[in-house]
Structure 1
Amino acid sequence: MFKKILIANRGEIALRVIRTCREMGIKTVAVYSTVDAESLHVKFADEAVCIGPAPSNLSYLKMSNIIAAAEITNADAIHPGYGFLSENAKFSRICQEHNIKFIGASPEMIDKMGDKATAKATMKAAGVPCVPGSDGILEDFNQAKKVAKEIGYPVMMKATAGGGGKGMRAIWKEEELEKAWESARMEAAAAFGNDGMYMEKLIEEPRHIEIQVVGDSYGKACHLSERDCSVQRRHQKLTEETPSPFMTDELREKMGDAAVKAAEYIKYEGAGTVEFLVDKHRNFYFMEMNTRIQVEHPITEQVIDYDLIREQIMVAAGVPISGKNYLPQLHSIECRINAEDPYNDFRPSPGKITVLHAPGGHGVRLDTHVYAGYTIPSNYDSMIAKLITTAQTREEAINKMKRALDEFVIEGIKTTIPFHRQLMDEPDYVAGNYTTKFMESFKMKELN
């Protein structure tokens, strides 16, 4: 087992990893930028190393600084959390070269699954259902036109190196194609330094349902059931739940089997998520694989009583998994609390938190790194907390979430707490009647 793990991340996920390491008797090293000096992950770790100024490209993305921090503290493993370097094949490779265990996917695995076009070809070969579309990257506009005609409009153009909705365009008719092709490529080049595009059939009334998988170094994989992540704004998830209100036992078995097949086909090691689009007829199609822990992993932990971070560490240390698949025994909902103003087009709201009162009680979990007096920097993602409620039924979990949101007080900044509170009363959400288009018609009700 590892003696010391460096956490190459910040915020709530860094704190989450530190807590599990402490329970396992493993020493921890926090890394931080100058603006994160007062963050809780820095205070809770056994050691902390400053790795640079506020901009992430000079700190949390600066591989040489992170490796240097691991070497001077004698860390024998690095946990990358999510975001930043968690799916960076080069960083995984550098860790290998320095005899530091990367608690995540191998460089080969990230290369195979990180590029969406390659991932789709791999999944097709594994026999996993895929959305009809181009075979790999489109060579030019003429090929894009030809593929669109073959699969039929509407189509979706996607950046092969994409994420967060960048380089994505929905095209409903041929006249819109050329403009979408140009603008998507420009956006992708600016965001990822790669303007490679591929095309897929646009799935109407889709739900975004993902399956959590864990694979070990002996070629065995299992699944931990699904999470429904369909409530999204500009392709960013806002809330997630498990089990999905759209799921049937038969569909869960089929999707779980497909996810395990995918993981075992590529000999996946670690915790990962196979993401699917599910249409209104409950046909499901592979979308992408995230080769890291997900933001929304706590809801899975809550419904099957399973520490996913511990499992990541155990698998990385060479411990085999049981191979047993898990089904949800309870219902769990997560609301991502962002420092954003939901009454002002979700505009970021960094600044100092003057008052904080955290909700509590049976079945309430709060994963956060913020506290009263903490200043939220403007340099990073705006998520400041994850509020999770767990109960016997979906109705009880929603009622518990309403109560917890009413108790949750954060002053000094704007947050998305009012949005989530309204969402929990929205008839279509309460009925489990939502797709990835849900937010297009949702309107915030003004405060009384």
Structure 2
Amino acid sequence: MEEIYLTGIFLFVLFLLLGTGVWVGLALLGVALVGMELFTSRPAGDAMITTIWGASSSWTLTALPLFIWMGEILYRTRLSEDMFRGLSPWMARLPGGLLHSNIVGCTIFAAVSGSSAATLTTVGKMSIPELRKRGYPEFMTVGTLAGAATLGLMIPPSLTLIVYGVTINESITKLFMAGVIPGLVLALLFMSYVAVWHFARPGQRPQPEPEMSFTDKLKESRFLIPVILLVTLVIGSMYTGFATATEAAAFGVLGALALAAGQRSLTWSSFIESLMGATRTSAMIALILMGAAFLSLSMGFTGLPRALAGFIAEQNLSPIALIAALTVFYIIIGCFLDGISSVVLTMAVVEPMIRQAGIDVIWFGIFVVVVVEMAQITPPIGFNLFVMQGMTGHEMNYIAKTALPMFLLMVLMVAILVAFPDLATWLPETMRSRPGG
């Protein structure tokens, strides 16, 4: 009963603060402060200062602002136009046509961004006008883009995986490698949905694209070369063991600057804008991480995580039953919190549970990212829905309906991960067996 009482107090204070419009990071700090003052004898101020410094001085965290900056630089280039031009000749003949460019474009940009919103904005600013001009149904254009943009959270470099790895003190590089295959499988599920629509709704198909020779397709593909080289530089340097995640992020920034300079889209103004954009996003995430670290300490002093982990253990839930319960739990809290906040807020309690149940923490990180992806397209706080609304002007309910099939495919992805856990664990284990891996 005591853990229920403590949980109730923590949740009451949290939602009270969030309901008043306080920033998430400050709300977490406030909840932790209340817990320290009410349930411990340790001076709350000293504990907060020590914990915040420890949480914010991690070398691993250096990768976070660097990957964010890389995405900000690329957002201000002609990358989206070049990607669409390079992809469209190859996508046009697939069942579903150029709708696949939404998914493949998001998959490629996710590999150099790490942000769902940046992926959505960059790909959408080119694909939406082009698909509308060619007569593709608005429902499919909006839905596939909103759903596929969530791949920015899964495919490395993923900001959510960095936050998860820092929170549980796990290798960022292993988590990045774990996200590659599930991210590609999820992209294939999205493409399968487009193909099913193509055959199920023949009356909605637009006019087919003009035939293009293989030589012309290859000529157009030259526009993809820069971004593919950048993806190879970032992910390849980590997989081969040549660079850590932080070093790969630095390579990525240099590559993005070179790409922007080569496209002649790098000006002093765009450079400063990208730097300030990355600073704002990094500061927001850092504040959330500081609040979460102090909240974890506060909850640790109260014994709440151990008590809840013990309570779960007493229920004799199988690992699959626990994952099912956590799926529902994360979907619910994802309706009210953004993905990174959901991860850092819950890990203090959830991590002991999964370790007690013998669940691999690398695998669980990928699971968490999938369910956090769902939160990006679920009202009322789904961030991708807000971004898409700003880009298209559609009502929130309409955008949520268009993204519902993609949400259901993510639920299917959770089931696939449970049935085939090697999808997430095989690549990190292969990397570990390499010299220096």
TM-score under structure 1 normalisation? Answer: 0.28
Greater relative CO (CA pairs within 8 A, separation 6+)? 2
Higher strand residue share: 1
Q: Which has the higher helix share?
A: 2
